[in-house]
Amino acid sequence: MGAITENNKLLINVLSGVALLALLVGLVTPLLTLKKLVFVTNTFSIWSGLVTLWQQGHIPLSLLLLAFSVLFPIVKIFIVLFCANMGTDQPLRSLRWIKWLDVVGKWSMLDVFVVAVLVASVKLGALASIEIHYGLYAFAIAVLLTKILIWMLGKFLVPKSGAV
């Protein structure tokens, strides 16, 4: 079974910190400004969107988005950190976690899909325009970086072919 070198561990730890920071920035900073006609402007973040959904009585939808857009991405980053720093005596256990993350990680793309549908629907409206803010880019960076970290960790844990 493969082992993670100290350099690889450091790289994963640093990139995980960057992913977590990008995720937190992406959750609380503005993603989009929606301008309808000339007078109505709404700017929102993922967090403010969740709060608004909750306040408007869309509790199941807000809980679903909270799970997939906030909690699951945070948990994934901490599992990556846990697996990278677990130690060399349990690579099989780490590999199981990484395989699990790879399988269920596809569901975490639900939040990206929701934002994409929102952007597409707004772009199609003749009376509305959308302005994208840095929160969307930070969130996208966090999602992509987490996927890359899971892939890297899997590569580091799997033994090289031909190794004894």
**Residue 120, C-beta contacts closer than 8 angstroms, at least 6 positions apart:** none
Query: Does the residue 64 lie in any domain?
Result: yes
DSSP-derived letter for residue 43 is E
**Bridge partners, residue 32, by sequence:** 44, 132
Query: Does the residue 163 lie in any domain?
Result: no
Query: Does the residue 123 lie in any domain?
Result: yes
Query: Does the residue 162 lie in any domain?
Result: no
Assign residue 88 the CATH number of its domain. 1.20.140
Structural domain of residue 123, as residue ranges? 6-157
DSSP 5-32: -HHHHHHHHHHHHHHHHHHHHHHHS--E
Query: Does the residue 1 lie in any domain?
Result: no
Kindly report the pTM of this predicted structure: 0.81
Which segments in the chain show pLDDT lower than 70? 1-3, 38, 87-91, 106-128, 159-164
Query: Does the residue 67 lie in any domain?
Result: yes
What confidence score (pLDDT) does residue 101 get? 82
Query: Does the residue 105 lie in any domain?
Result: yes
Query: Does the residue 164 lie in any domain?
Result: no
The total of structural domains in the chain comes to 1
Is residue 25 within 8 Å of 138, Cβ to Cβ?
yes
Largest pairwise CA distance in the chain: 69
